[in-house]
Every structure is written in structure tokens, then in C-alpha cells.
Amino acid sequence: MAEGSTQQRRYVVDTNVLAYYALSTPPFSEEVSDLLSKSFELIAPDSWYPEFLSVVWQSIRFQGISLDHGFELLEEVESLLNWSIPVWFLWREALVVAEEYSCSTFDTLFVVLAERERCNLLTYDQKLLTAFPEIAKRPDQVLSA
């Protein structure tokens, strides 16, 4: 698959990577900022929208960010992605992978998209990194390649 490819320019990006960047979450935000400064094509299943919306809502509710800042975060993160693929295009395969690996379908949508696109999934999710070591990579692994 995509492992070890230093020429790879496309990556599936997990919602947690986007959230850590948008919310400047240490120690991840600097690493993700470095990643986003590169000319990579970033893609995701369109399930990232409600996932990230929930992150923003929780930040408004529990971290005290303003509603206006929440809207800014939504727009900023949307602009980082080159495109999003409809979930319906991935759902059957995602369900099979979820059952096989005991992972949530929210997570396996990202895995299946990476498999289809023959690229890596950038994530900080330890369960995904463990279950799919050839596909799932931490952003620092991409930066050091």
C-alpha cells in the first residue's frame, strides 16, 4: 500500500488531526501546522463535518470560545480539505471493516477511504494506529519520511 512512500501527496485526514490544529491543542498543534504547511492533498469522508461540528460545539460550551469563533473554525478547517467523499460511497465496506476489526464505523469510514485512494490515513487515534499500521500514520511519521 502507501507505506514508505515519500512521494505520496494525498492523505486521508482524521477529524482529530483537524480538531487539534483548529483548537491549537498542545502538543499536536505545532506538528499539524507543519504538516498543513506542505503541499499535500487532504481528503476525508464527509462524516468529518458532524464530527468536527461536535468538537466546535463542545469547545463553545465547555472551553468558552465564542459562537463567532466557532464559525471561523468551521470555515478554516473546511478550507484545509481538498475534497470530501460522501459516506454512502463507503458505508458498506466500512461496516465490514468495523465488524472485522472491532472499530467504530465512524473510524472505519476513514480507513476505507484511505484504502480506496491507496494513501495513508493521518490520525492520532491509537486504536486505528494499532489496528491498521500500514494505513494509519501519525502526522509526525509523514513529516519525518
pTM score > 0.75 for this model?
yes
Pairing state of beta strands 83-85 and 41-45?
parallel
pLDDT of 54 reads: 98
Q: 10-143, what's its fold? A: Rossmann fold (3.40.50)
Share of the chain above pLDDT 70, in %: 94
Please provide the average confidence, as pLDDT, over all residues in the chain.
93
DSSP state string for 32-65: HHHHHTS--EEEEETTHHHHHHHHHHHHHHHS--
| Planar angle of CA 95, 98, 103, nearest 5 degrees | 145
Lowest mean pLDDT among 5-9, 12-16, 76-80, 87-91: 5-9
pLDDT of 127 reads: 97
Q: Is 84 helix (H, G, I), strand (E, B) or coil?
A: strand
